[in-house]
């Protein structure tokens, strides 16, 4: 293997161990939920999900799962606001 490629592989290992160096600006994920698929997207630090729960609360199990998996690399989810009656 060429030494330049070996160096890149080692650098990739270092970067992978330092996720704080990464910030996701745009991400689109198809989440295979228990009932159906949902599209989760981050664009300009704003989250969206195609599920009905997200439409009301601006947070859902799909977005929370992705936030956990990509800990520190994606913008934090906003806290849900109390719904008025």
Chain CA centroid to CA 80, Å: 18
Phi, psi for 42 (deg, rounded to 5): -120, 125
Cα–Cα distances in Å, from 80 out to 3, 12, 55?
Answer: 51, 37, 11
Using one digit for the tens of pLDDT, what is the confidence trace for 33-70?
888 999 999 998 899 999 999 999 999 999 999 999 98
In degrees and rounded to multiples of 5, residue 21 shows phi and psi of: -75, -15
Q: What are the structural domain ranges in the chain?
A: 21-79
Tell if the pTM clears 0.85, that is, is over it: no
Phi and psi at residue 12, to the nearest 5°: -60, -40
- Provide mean pLDDT across the span 13-36: 89
- Dig out the tokens for 33 from the structure: 């939920």
């Amino acid at each position: 293997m060429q030494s330049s490629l070996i160096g890149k592989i080692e650098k990739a290992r270092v970067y992978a161990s330092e996720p704080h160096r990464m910030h996701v600006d745009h991400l689109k994920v198809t989440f295979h939920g228990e009932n159906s698929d949902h599209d989760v997207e981050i664009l300009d630090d704003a989250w969206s999900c195609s599920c009905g729960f997200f439409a009301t609360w601006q947070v859902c199990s799909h977005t929370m799962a992705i936030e956990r998996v990509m800990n520190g690399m994606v913008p934090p989810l906003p806290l849900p606001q109390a719904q008025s009656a």
